[in-house]
Chain A
Amino acid sequence: QLHLQESGPGLVKPSETLSLTCTVSGGSISSSTYYWGWVRQPPGKGLEWIGSIYYSGNTYYNPSLKSRVTISVDTSNNQFSLNLSSVTAAETAVFYCARHSGLGRGFDYWGQGTLVTVSS
């Protein structure tokens, strides 16, 4: 059974860079069938796609965040990571990592989510 687990600081200061890692177990991140993505959800609000990466390293970002987002993959450790720079307090959210079989296809496996608070 595939399992995804987010990890990283729960508190980030405004203007700094938010960094999270998603560790995948029970399957290989190098599978050519899947994309690996990040989705965030501010408290009490809806879901927003941040971006996704293919095992080859090809990346796809939400245009509204593209200038501040970097997603990378570490196949040797079966992990992928998110960096979001210049964060503001309004970007406090639960961040989820998830797998999908295509850019327009369903996210079938999700991590439990991790709350990142942006505050000084």
Chain B
Amino acid sequence: QSVLTQPPSVSAAPRQKVTISCSGSTSNIENNYVSWYQQLPGTAPKLLIYDNNKRPSGIPSRFSGSKSGTSATLGITGLQTGDEADYYCATWDNSLSAVVFGGGTKLTIL
């Protein structure tokens, strides 16, 4: 299983908001930057959030990231059908000396 724990699935209706959690430990999330990725079916992952809460150019403000202690959260507001995808968190783990990914969360738009 993954070092970072994400819920396997979340769902919400269009125009609503959703949060996806990523739980880790002091050796990873608490002391390192967290990034978030969106993976649409059949495509490469796309960076949504880096350095805990920064959005790359072109990523809408509907996507936000936060971190507190050993957990991080991705928030998505104004949900659209096109947001239906798998979402992954990632960070560096000091104990493993490795980049670690969460297991992924499938977002379903109801």
Contact = CB atoms under 8 A, between A and B. Distances in A.
Interface of A: 37, 39, 46-49, 52, 60, 62-63, 96, 102-108, 110-113
A106 B33 CA distance: 8
Contacts of A46: 2, 88, 101-104
A99 to B, nearest CB: 10
- Main SS class of interface, B: strand
Contact of A108 (B50, B88, B91): B50
A97 B74 CA distance: 24
Interface string B3-36: 0000000000000000000000000000011010
B97 A107 contact: no
Contacts of A108: 47, 50, 56
Contacts of B43: 112
Contacts, number: 65
Which of under 10, 10 to 19, 20 to 34, or 35 or more describes the interface residues of B?
A: 20 to 34
Contact of A49 (B32, B44, B50, B99): B99
Q: Which residue among B47, B49, B99 has the maximum number of chain A CB atoms within 10 Å of its CB?
A: B99
Contacts of A48: 101
